[in-house]
Structure 1
């Protein structure tokens, strides 16, 4: 079932026709023409039953005796099929904020995750007749898709090579949007955007994972410090030898390298010791 346009005309034309029918009916009564007067009043009632008002960004689904006739999307005052059932349906953009879900990531770690889904109805016929309640359908399918996507990735990638929920939130959100669209298209819903609003380790492993993250950060910082210290020592020795400031044998060079590395890499400020015995 797909949406289609329903027959309609300007409501003010119908209002004018109803006034004409009523006026003609009253005139027929005064002329004692009972049957024409009754027919004219019936026609006025038929026109009255066909009036409908559509607000901006709203669709009016029209059913005629159990059969879908079409949808009025244009806002305004209209005359459509008389004696029909008309149901309003919002076409405005909506947000759905999921609850915080407890999911196991691809490594089996329990995490808490939540997302916001921005959507709107683009096919009123599917939203009305293909699913029982399209809003509840959006909520359930959004949480199901979020669980499925979250279980495909680790919370964090420590080697930095694979995708992770924390480091690649944009890519994860795009994949979530695509999966949601495939799930919600049956309900005539278009997914405009989806974003992760909450991401954290579950409480039972949060402290252990925090220690792991801190250890990884310390190791990365130490590697950077050692790399910089080695380059500084190499540059110092090269300049001393190039400018002929001092001649260093292998033993003194090793001692100098040791002292420089200790001074640069140490967590605390190095305490200089002046050796004056070699002056005399």
Structure 2
């Protein structure tokens, strides 16, 4: 198992960064550092130094899966898009690691994996798009071993209202706060957003026990683009700000995303 410092450095360009450099890479690091820190800590608790069986449900092009494979874990990405799976294969080859990619959705997990066969299942930005979030999470729990964990990342409804208001769309922000799916209107491209309470109810309903909800991208999506210009250290300072903000529950409402590590007893 790689220690936290080197693991963070390894994944700094991996969690969705692609080949970005400069300000784009720094901005991406600020958006992913909190989740990656939580995953590295979780891996050390689950693995006891050995490789884990990890399933990344809806893992896309492997932005998270490939860095996890670089740490020596056995990772399978379940993804409905063949184009994303092809990009995953290229990314893994470029980084010289093995990541298994299979086409499917959360409802297919039971037919792809033995019950309780995964040490960790990632469900990042998936529940926003499935037909039944509660059923999808139950499918995830079905393949998670006792004592294993689920990493859940969802879009925050409250922050969505804040962002619409800051963009000048006051009526849409108001509508979003009252909408059960957290949408600002028919033109909203996001099918669903979640409040903190809804996330906790989903976790409890699936038979998981959750740690505290952490805010992700608390400031990274609010800092104007010109703040990066001519400042080589701005990105790292924003990363540290994001890490600090995640420890303050009062800031959850500002965070674009909510992250929970939940455990199966």
Q: TM-score, normalised by structure 2?
A: 0.19
Q: TM-score, normalised by structure 1?
A: 0.18
More strand by share: 1
